[in-house]
Structure 1
Amino acid sequence: MANTHNRSLELEVTVISGEDLRINDRPIKNNAFVTVKADSGGSLSSLQDSTKPDVQSESYPYWDEKLHVDLPAGSRYVVVEVCRRSSAAVDKLVGTAWIPVSDFVGDYTPENYLHFLSYRLRDAQGQRNGIVNISVRVITSSYKGTAASSSSSSSPSVPKFGIPVDREKTGGTVTGMPVWYPNQWKS
């Protein structure tokens, strides 16, 4: 995959669930929602997307919602905020996770790779306050094409894997995985 830090990217962030969410050290009752936005050179982007509030799952909410976020060139983090909406329509911050872009964008990550990630949330005082579970995919033109045609085809797109052959040109490192053969260590 080419270096993607020099151009704007589109992310598909699926907010899956939360775990052990609390306000003032008490489990939240309902109405938790998630907002996802990108940092834009040190400041947060005004472009963001949010889930609908989960009305039933108490401190273990389940959203399973796909959000789309533009990641400007040079962004270093994606910020995930979990909040609770009260009956007075006032949002109370539950916790925030600052996710490094390097966790899902890199030279050896296949195009359209789906990353499943879990992050510790921190409340406004920096204390641990639950976990958020997400998946992230960098949307490329080839994925958009297969997503549009997926209604006519039942087989999903398979990412292409590759290892650079010329290390001097790419500056890459090849890594391997040990292969164990039956009875390898018997005398």
Structure 2
Amino acid sequence: MANTPSCRLEVTAISGEDLRINGRPIKNNAFVTVKADSHGSPSLHGSTKPDALGESYPHWDEKLHVDLPEGSRYLVGEVRRRSSSAGDRLVGTACIPVSDFIYTPKNHLHFLSYRLRDAEGLRNGIINISVRVTASSGSSPSVPDFGVPADREKMHGTVTGVPVWYPNRYES
């Protein structure tokens, strides 16, 4: 699959909550990187400036521009802490499903919050972001064209739904 951008995103890293390293609240210098799921290919990413004063509740309010390759399923948001002695340390990672924001009109702003997981997979704070699709190339990532036709004379549209599988309670 080609790693060509299908759309451009504006991701605003707003803030973090209850960030810790080894169970201790972070004192300062937390920053965010955001990159697209790239199917094994190198991925460009954006990064905020470290928050010097936010402690374990940093505030960035910084816009990052990320190219989303066609076929990407999620964005990866990482919160790290910059230290002169230990270098950059991972605080937590959040996988942000593309389906949470891609099937809406261009320039629609989504405010989203995700639980961060540390390197061992344990809960480690929350990241608050906003996402906006600013441009798309090729086939537009718009609302998918599926559904059951409605009474067109009255509704002038289509009824859509998501198939849901319910287990048969009579199966063993």
Q: What TM-score results when the alignment is normalised by the length of structure 2?
A: 0.76
Deviation at residue 111 of structure 1 after TM alignment: 1.9
Distance 1:78 1:52, change over 3 A: same
The aligned runs of 1:99-178 (5 Å cut-off) are 99-106=96-103, 109-140=104-135, 167-168=148-149, 173=159
**Does 1:27 pair with 2:13?**
no
In the alignment, the residues of structure 2 paired with residue 45 and residue 67 of structure 1 have an alpha-carbon distance, to the nearest angstrom, of 18
Cα pair distance change 1:81/1:7, threshold 3 Å: closer
What RMSD, in angstroms, separates the aligned Cα atoms of the two structures? 2.6
- CA separation of 1:65 and 1:44: change in aligned 2, threshold 3 A: farther
Residues in 2 aligned to 1:7 and 1:49: alpha-carbon distance in whole angstroms: 15
- Which structure: greater helix fraction? 1
Q: Answer yes or no: is 1:67 the counterpart of 2:64.
A: yes
Instruction: Report whether the alignment pairs 1:11 with 2:6.
Output: no
Q: CA deviation at 1:45?
A: 4.0
Cα deviation, residue 112, structure 1: 1.1
**Which residue of 2 is the match for residue 49 of structure 1?**
46
Query: Which structure shows the higher strand fraction?
Result: 2
Q: Say if 1:38 and 1:70, in contact at 8 Å, map to a contact too.
A: yes
Matches within 5 A, 1:71-90: 71-88=68-85, 90=87
Post-superposition offset of 1:173: 2.7
Amino acid at match of 2:94: A
1-side partners of 2:135 and 2:55: how far apart? Answer: 36
What letter is aligned with 1:11? L
- Are 1:80 and 1:96, in contact at CA under 8 Å, matched by a contact in 2? yes
Q: What's the TM-score once normalised by structure 1's chain length?
A: 0.70
Does the residue aligned with 2:99 lie in a helix, a strand or coil? helix
The CA deviation at 1:89 is 6.4
Letter of the aligned partner of 1:173 in structure 2? V
Shift of 1:118: 0.1
Runs of 4+ in structure 1 over 6 Å off: none
Percent sequence identity over aligned pairs: 71
Gaps of 5+ in 2: 137-142, 150-156, 162-172
Residues 80-89 or 65-74, more deviating: 80-89
